[in-house]
Amino acid sequence: MSVELTPAGPRLSHSRPRRPDTPGAVLVEPALVGICRSDLKEIGGRRPGPSQFGHELVGVVARSSTSRLPVGARVCLDPNVPLSRGTGFARWMWAGGEAGALERALPLAPAGLGERRLVFAEPLACAAHCLTMTRRHLGASDLRGIRMCVLGAGMAGVLIARLAETAGARVLLANRGPGRLDFLAARDALPGGGGALLTEAPAGAHDVVVVATSYVTPELLEHALGLVRRGGLAMLYGGTAAGDRLPGLDCDLDRVRRAELVQAASWRSTPVLVGGSYGTTTGDFAYALRALSDSPDGLGVERLITAEVSLPELPATLRRLAEERLFGKVLMRPR
Structural domains in the chain, sorted by start: 2-109+296-333 (3.90.180.10), 122-276 (3.40.50.720)
Which candidate, 225, 180, 181, 178, places its Cα nearest to that of 206?
A: 225
Average pLDDT over residues 179-201: 95
Q: How confident is the model over 206-257, as pLDDT tens digits? A: 999 999 998 999 999 999 999 999 999 999 999 999 999 999 999 999 999 9
Average pLDDT over residues 125-143: 97
Task: Give the pLDDT confidence score for residue 325 in this predicted structure.
Answer: 79
Q: What is the pTM (predicted TM-score) of this model?
A: 0.93
- Please report, rounded to a whole number, the percentage of residues in the chain having pLDDT higher than 70: 99
Which candidate, 233, 282, 262, places its Cα nearest to that of 128?
A: 282
Which candidate, 239, 274, 277, places its Cα nearest to that of 257?
A: 277
Neighbours of 15 (CB within 10 A): 8
Q: How confident is the model over 255-307, as pLDDT tens digits? A: 999 999 999 999 999 999 999 999 899 899 999 999 999 988 889 999 999 99
Average pLDDT over residues 104-112: 93
C-alpha of 89 from chain center: 17
Mean pLDDT for the chain overall: 93
Report how far apart, in Å, the C-alpha atoms of 81 and of each of 55, 77, 171, 279 are: 11, 9, 31, 10
* CA gap 144, 169 in Å, rounded: 5
Kindly tell me if the per-residue pLDDT of 150 is higher than 70.
yes
Which candidate, 118, 120, 119, 51, places its Cα nearest to that of 86?
A: 51
Task: Give the pLDDT confidence score for residue 296 in this predicted structure.
Answer: 84
* CA gap 205, 273 in Å, rounded: 15
**In this structure, are residues 196 and 172 in contact, taking their beta carbons and an 8 Å threshold?**
yes
- Please report, rounded to a whole number, the percentage of residues in the chain having pLDDT higher than 90: 84
For residue 173, report the phi and psi dihedrals to the nearest 5 degrees.
-105, 120
Task: Give the pLDDT confidence score for residue 50 in this predicted structure.
Answer: 67
Kindly tell me if the per-residue pLDDT of 103 is higher than 90.
yes
For residue 186, report the phi and psi dihedrals to the nearest 5 degrees.
-65, -25
